[in-house]
Amino acid sequence: MNKPSQTAKMPQPSPAPKRGLWAIGVILLALVSWAVLGKFAPNPKAPKKDNSGSNQQQKKETDKVSRTENKTGLKLVKIPAGSFLMGSNYQPDEQPIRRVTLSSFHMSKTEITVGQYKRYCEATGEKMPIAPDFNKGWSKLDHPIVRVSWDDAKGYCAWAGVLLPTETEWEYASRGGLEGKKYPLEDAWHGSKCANSVSPYKPSGTVPVGSYAANGYGLHDMSGNVWEWCTDWYSDKYNPSDTNNPQGSPTGIMRVLRGGSWFNTNPDLFRCAFRYFNYLLNPDGRSGDGGFRVVFRGLP
């Protein structure tokens, strides 16, 4: 049997079909790319959303916060807008529990200090309160100011361009984002986490602000150290229909205080929902364990 010649060539397929398929693939890829890019490319005729007004408003608010901090020595913390369950079933005046909604606001990181209140008095000619024995001569500038009435606190706010918090703002901020918890840091009482006189703790007076850990919003001493004035009149129950940026009762005899103090011996008084009032303190009385912190609500 004869072997095939070594020089004989096998028939070769025409390359034309391969070039044709390649060309078709390139065309299809181009069409797909054009369709995808055309879908997501910005339409030059579509009007762009104008955020300049919102940005300008935000810049004005930021500038106002900075000027306030520079003037007063305060550090203001942004509290986000949101909703939470306000109140509790522990006391009748903490009811009814209802979900309330708040716009964002700024709150002072700590209680107003002796040094910050002195700056106000020096600028306005107001007199400092009589110093307590535990802070003679008001020498401890980083301690919270005490022996200030509600009216004193309002005077400071008018000078600083800030406000006293509403009860709703105070409770919302004190919870630090923890829904339904009893205390600013957790659900259980731990006396080592705030300035108080619950046994075995026996402080002789206030402590420097910020001595204890901040809550989830970066706020210190939302329980303990000093009671804090709120702007609300005290009422024996909440209005169940007042759920959007509540302002509290329009009339009353006593103003509300929140947070508990270094002098208190009952853990119940340090709860986020606890509401305190005292006939001797309202609204022009003063106490060695009563102070305040402030809020800034932005521009109208």
Residue 256: partners with Cβ closer than 8 Å, 6 or more residues away: 167, 229, 230, 232, 233, 234, 248, 275, 276, 277
Q: How confident is the model at residue 280 (pLDDT cuts 50, 70, 90)?
A: low
Superfamily of chain region 69-296: paralog of FGE (formylglycine-generating enzyme) (3.90.1580.10)
Nearest C-alpha neighbor of 163 from the set 231, 264, 211: 231
In single-letter form, the type of residue at position 99 comes to R
**105-108 and 76-79: which strand pairing?**
antiparallel
Residues of the chain above pLDDT 70, percent: 80
Q: Specify whether the CB–CB gap between 216 and 227 falls below 8 A.
A: no
Q: Is the pLDDT of residue 12 over 60?
A: no
Q: What is the mean pLDDT of residues 168-184?
A: 95
Nearest C-alpha neighbor of 73 from the set 27, 19, 129, 115: 115
Q: Is the pLDDT of residue 8 over 70?
A: no
Q: What is the mean pLDDT of residues 221-244?
A: 96
* Chain mean position to CA 280: 31
Q: What 8-state DSSP symbol labels residue 107? A: E
**Between 273 and 61, the higher pLDDT residue:** 273
Nearest C-alpha neighbor of 135 from the set 297, 294, 288: 288
**290-291 and 227-233: which strand pairing?**
parallel
- Quick one: tokens of 73? 């020595």
Q: What is the mean pLDDT of residues 103-110?
A: 97
Q: How confident is the model at residue 298 (pLDDT cuts 50, 70, 90)?
A: confident
Q: What is the mean pLDDT of residues 31-46?
A: 49
Token pair 């853990």 is at which residue? 267
Return the number of other C-beta atoms located less than 10 Å from residue 191's C-beta.
15
Please report, for the chain, the start and end positions of each structural domain, with discontinuous segments joined by +.
Answer: 69-296
Nearest C-alpha neighbor of 62 from the set 2, 106, 128: 106
Q: How high is the pLDDT of residue 9?
A: 41
Q: Is the pLDDT of residue 261 over 80?
A: yes
Q: How high is the pLDDT of residue 34?
A: 47
Q: What 8-state DSSP symbol labels residue 108? A: E
* Chain mean position to CA 148: 24
Q: How high is the pLDDT of residue 246?
A: 96
Q: What is the mean pLDDT of residues 216-230?
A: 98
Q: What is the mean pLDDT of residues 262-278?
A: 96
Question: Cis peptide leading into 283, omega within 30 of 0?
Answer: yes
The span from the CA of 40 to the CA of 62, in Å, is 35
Helix axes 150-160, 114-124, angle to 10 degrees: 70
**Weakest mean pLDDT among 35-49, 53-67, 140-154, 200-214:** 35-49
Q: How confident is the model at residue 300 (pLDDT cuts 50, 70, 90)?
A: low
Largest CA distance in the chain: 129
Q: How high is the pLDDT of residue 183?
A: 96
Q: How high is the pLDDT of residue 60?
A: 84
**82-86 and 98-102: which strand pairing?**
antiparallel
Q: How confident is the model at residue 5 (pLDDT cuts 50, 70, 90)?
A: very low
Q: Is the pLDDT of residue 119 over 70?
A: yes
Question: 108 — phi, psi (to 5°)?
Answer: -65, 135
**Between 20 and 160, the higher pLDDT residue:** 160
- Quick one: tokens of 3? 């072997």
